[in-house]
C-alpha cells in the first residue's frame, strides 16, 4: 500500500510519511538510565503517542529494559475514584496482555482495594520482568480529578518504596497539559493536597516541539521520493509560515493537496495557489482537530486569556498564571518574547472566524461581492455600509457574544469575511500588548490594510494613525483604514460615526469612527 500523510492516530513508517518524533524532544535516555519519573506534555496531535510507541520499541530492542505503553483514555469521564482506578487497571492489564513477556505473568490484584490496587499491579508487573520495567502512561490528563489524584499518590508511594519493593525503574506521565495544570485542577478552594504532594516525584517536564522549516521540507520530500510529485520551496515556505510547523496542520495540508485538490494525480504540479486552496478548505471544513480548538474557546478560563489577546490589550502577561499556561499547553497560543499571540496564522484565522461565525451567517448574503468589480475592492463603500449597520445593530449584536469586549472587532471581521467570501481573503493578526488588531483584505492581487482598535482614551487616535501608517509601509500599500470603536455611553451616534481622510508621508489614511 502506498504511504500517505497521516492525520489520525499514531504514525507508522510502513504506512505514513513521517519523521522520528524522538528528534523533537530532549534526549530521554539519561532520564531513564537515572531511574527518573517525568512528565511529557504537548498540544493535541503533535506526535505524543507516536513518540511513546517509538520509545517503547527502542527500549525493548535495546535489550536493557522492558517497556510497557498504556493509554488510560478509556477512563475519561469517570468521576468516581474507585471506578476510575478500576478503568486504569483494566487499561494496564490490557496493555500487559499484549506484551511478549508480561501476558503470561499478569499478577493477581484485588481491584476492590482500589486505593492500593494500582501500586500493587505496577509492583507485580515489575517483579514479573527479567529487566527493569519502564512504564509509559498516555492521556493521563484526561482522568477526572479524584482518579488522577489517586493514581499520582499510588505512583508516589511506590516510587518512595522502590528500594524495598519491585516498582517501575522509570515512568512517564504523558498528556496535553503540564503537571502544573493538573495541580491547579485538583486543588479546590476548600481542600489542599497536604504535605505529601503527589507531584514532587516528577524530575522533569518535557515537551514536543513543532517541526522546523527544514523538517517540513524533509517530510514532504518523502512524498516526492515515492511519487515524483514535488513540493517546491515556495509551497514549503507557505506551509511553514501558516502552520509554524504544527505537525497535524503540516500533514493535513499536504493530504488535502495530494488527495483532494489534485485528486491523487501525481503528474499535476503543486503550486502556491493549490496550497492556498487546501488551507482554506481545511479552515472551512473544520476537521476534528480544529473543532476541538474551537470548543476550548467556550471555556471561561480560555476566554479570560484569549479576549485580551484578541483586542491587543496592554497588560502584564504572567506566563506562570495557570490559565495562561493552560492555553499555551493546549497549543492555542504561543509565547512570543513575553507577548501572547495565536500559535500560528491558521489558528488565528480559525479563532477569528469561529468567534464571529454566527454573525457572519446572520448577515445578508447580498453583501458578498457587493463592493467588488473583479479589479478592486471598494473599502470606503464597504466601511460606510458597516457604519450604518453598526448604528442599527450594535447593541443587539454585541449582546450575543460571550467575548463582550472583543465583540465590535469580531462583528466587523464577520462583515469583512462575508463580503469577500469566494472572492478574496481576510487575514488577521493579533497579540497581547499591541493595542489593536491588524487585518489585511486581499483581492484581485491587491492588499488593503485595516487597523481595528477600541477607544482607550485621547491617545487612541494618534496611536492608531501611527500604527496604521507603519502597517501600510510594511505591506507596501498607499492607502489604509483605521476603524476606531468608541463605546463611551455618553457619546451620541453623530459623535461616534465619523470619517476623516489624513495624508501622512505620502499615505492616504481614512479614520473611520464607529
Render pLDDT for 46-94 as a digit per residue (tens, 0 to 9). 999 999 999 999 999 999 999 999 999 999 989 899 999 999 999 999 9
Q: Give dist(CA 388, CA 100) in Å, integer.
A: 72
Mapped onto helix, strand or coil, the DSSP state of residue 307 is helix
Torsion, Cα 218 222 227 233, to 10 degrees, reads: -10
Q: Residue 128: enclosing H or E segment and its boundaries?
A: helix 114-128
Average pLDDT of 233-252? 98
192 pLDDT above the threshold of 50:
no
SS3 179: helix
Residue 180's pLDDT band (cuts 50, 70, 90): low
pLDDT band at 214 (very low <50, low <70, confident <90, very high): very high
Nearest to 208 by CA among 246, 238, 241: 246
> Strand pairing partners for 41?
175, 207
Extract the C-alpha cell encoding 43. 498540544
| Residue 190 confidence (pLDDT) | 37
Q: How many residues does the chain have?
A: 514
Instruction: Name every residue whose Cβ is closer than 8 Å to that of residue 45 and which is 6 or more positions away in sequence.
Output: 7, 247, 248, 289
The pLDDT value recorded for residue 321 is 83
Residues 378, 379, 380, 383, CA torsion sign: positive
When comparing pLDDT for 386 and 198, which is higher?
Answer: 386
Is 181's pLDDT higher than 90? no
What the block records as the C-alpha cell of 276 is 492556498
Instruction: Give the per-residue pLDDT at 196.
Output: 39
CA triplet 483, 484, 490: central angle to 5 degrees?
Answer: 145
User: pTM here?
Assistant: 0.92
pLDDT bin (cut points 50, 70, 90) of residue 186 is low
pLDDT at 154: 95
Distances (CA, A) of 12 to 16, 57, 173: 6, 12, 22
DSSP string, 367-403: GTTTTB-SS-B-HHHHHHHHHHHHHHHHHHHHTT-SS
Overall average pLDDT of the 157-186 stretch: 86
How high is the pLDDT of residue 346? Answer: 96
Evaluate if residue 472 carries a pLDDT over 80. yes
The two beta strands, 446-454 and 479-485, are: parallel
Which stretch of 41-50, 329-338, 418-427 has the lowest confidence by average pLDDT?
Answer: 418-427
- Average pLDDT of 163-181? 89
For residues 118-135, give the mean pLDDT. Answer: 97
Task: Flag whether pLDDT at 189 surpasses 70.
Answer: no
Of the candidate ranges 321-325, 376-380, 505-509, the one whose mean pLDDT is the lowest: 321-325
**Span of 19-33, 424-438, 441-455 with lowest mean pLDDT:** 424-438
Q: How many CB atoms are closer than 10 A to CB 328?
A: 22
Would you place residue 187 in the very low, low, confident or very high pLDDT band (cuts 50, 70, 90)?
low
pLDDT level of residue 183 (50, 70, 90 thresholds): low
Question: What pLDDT sits at residue 194?
Answer: 40
Is residue 188's pLDDT more than 70?
A: no
**Is the predicted pLDDT of residue 191 greater than 80, yes or no?**
no
Classify residue 246 by burial, with Cβ atoms within 10 Å: 0-12, 13-18, 19+: buried
Average pLDDT, the chain: 91
Q: How far apart are CA 108 and CA 125, in angstroms?
A: 10
Residue with cell 503528474: 267
195 conformational bin, left if phi > 0, alpha if psi -120 to 50, beta if neither: alpha
Among 251-255, 288-292, 317-321, 368-372, top mean pLDDT goes to 251-255
Q: pLDDT of 268-316, one tens digit each?
A: 999 999 999 999 999 989 888 999 888 999 999 999 999 999 998 866 5
Of all residues in the chain, the percent with pLDDT exceeding 70 is 94
Rounded Cα distance between 120 and 509, Å, is 72
Nearest to 344, CA basis, from 244, 249, 264? 244
Taking the C-alpha atoms of residue 366 and residue 353, their distance in angstroms, rounded to an integer, is 19
**pLDDT value of position 483:** 98
Amino acid at each position: 500500500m502506498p504511504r500517505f500523510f497521516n492525520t489520525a492516530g499514531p504514525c507508522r513508517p510502513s504506512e505514513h510519511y513521517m519523521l522520528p518524533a524522538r528528534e523533537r524532544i530532549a534526549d530521554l535516555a539519561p532520564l531513564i538510565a537515572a531511574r527518573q519519573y517525568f512528565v511529557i506534555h504537548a498540544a493535541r496531535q503533535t506526535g505524543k503517542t507516536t513518540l511513546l510507541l517509538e520509545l517503547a520499541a527502542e527500549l525493548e530492542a535495546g535489550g536493557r529494559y522492558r517497556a510497557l505503553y498504556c493509554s488510560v483514555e478509556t477512563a475519561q469521564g469517570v468521576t468516581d475514584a474507585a471506578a476510575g482506578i478500576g478503568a486504569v487497571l483494566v487499561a494496564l492489564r490490557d496493555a500487559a496482555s499484549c506484551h511478549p513477556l508480561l501476558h503470561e505473568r499478569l499478577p493477581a490484584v484485588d481491584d476492590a482495594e482500589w486505593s492500593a490496587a494500582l501500586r500493587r499491579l505496577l509492583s507485580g508487573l515489575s517483579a514479573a520482568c527479567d529487566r527493569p520495567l519502564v512504564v509509559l502512561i498516555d492521556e493521563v490528563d484526561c482522568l477526572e480529578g479524584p482518579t488522577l489524584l489517586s493514581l499520582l499518590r499510588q505512583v508516589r508511594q511506590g516510587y518512595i518504596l522502590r528500594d524495598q519493593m519491585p516498582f517501575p525503574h522509570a515512568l512517564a506521565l504523558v498528556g496535553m497539559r503540564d503537571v502544573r495544570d493538573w495541580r491547579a485542577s485538583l486543588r479546590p478552594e476548600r481542600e489542599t493536597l497536604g504535605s505529601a504532594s503527589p507531584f514532587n516525584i516528577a524530575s522533569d517536564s518535557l515537551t514536543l516541539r513543532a517541526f522546523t522549516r527544514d523538517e517540513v521540507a524533509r517530510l514532504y520530500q518523502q512524498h516526492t521520493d515515492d511519487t515524483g510529485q514535488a513540493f517546491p520551496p515556495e509551497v514549503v515556505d507557505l506551509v511553514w509560515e501558516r502552520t509554524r510547523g504544527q505537525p497535524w496542520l503540516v500533514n493535513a495540508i499536504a493530504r488535502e493537496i495530494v488527495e483532494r485538490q489534485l485528486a491523487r494525480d501525481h503528474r499535476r504540479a503543486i503550486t502556491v495557489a493549490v496550497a492556498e486552496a487546501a488551507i482554506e478548505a481545511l479552515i472551512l471544513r473544520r476537521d476534528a482537530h480544529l473543532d476541538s480548538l474551537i470548543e476550548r474557546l467556550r471555556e471561561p478560563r480560555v476566554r479570560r486569556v484569549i479576549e485580551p489577546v484578541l483586542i491587543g490589550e496592554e497588560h502584564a502577561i504572567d506566563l506562570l498564571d495557570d490559565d495562561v499556561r493552560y492555553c499555551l499547553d493546549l497549543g492555542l497560543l504561543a509565547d512570543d518574547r513575553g507577548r501572547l499571540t495565536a500559535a500560528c496564522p491558521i489558528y488565528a484565522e480559525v479563532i477569528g472566524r469561529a468567534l464571529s461565525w454566527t454573525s457572519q451567517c446572520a448577515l445578508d448574503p447580498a453583501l458578498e461581492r457587493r463592493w467588488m468589480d473583479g479589479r478592486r475592492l471598494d473599502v470606503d463603500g464597504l466601511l460606510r455600509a458597516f457604519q450604518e449597520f453598526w448604528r442599527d445593530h450594535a447593541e443587539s449584536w454585541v449582546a450575543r457574544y460571550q467575548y463582550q469586549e472583543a465583540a465590535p472587532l469580531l462583528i466587523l471581521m464577520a462583515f469583512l469575511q462575508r463580503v469577500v467570501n469566494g472572492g478574496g481573503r481576510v487575514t488577521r493578526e493579533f497579540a497581547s500588548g499591541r493595542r489593536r488588531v491588524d487585518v489585511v483584505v486581499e483581492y484581485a492581487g491587491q492588499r488593503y490594510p485595516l487597523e481595528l482598535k477600541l477607544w482607550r482614551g485621547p491617545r487612541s487616535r494618534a496611536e492608531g494613525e501611527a500604527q496604521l501608517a507603519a502597517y501600510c509601509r510594511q505591506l507596501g500599500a498607499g492607502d489604509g483604514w483605521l476603524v476606531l470603536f468608541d463605546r463611551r455611553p455618553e457619546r451620541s451616534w453623530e459623535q461616534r460615526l465619523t470619517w476623516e481622510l489624513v495624508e501622512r508621508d505620502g499615505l492616504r489614511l481614512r479614520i473611520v469612527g464607529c
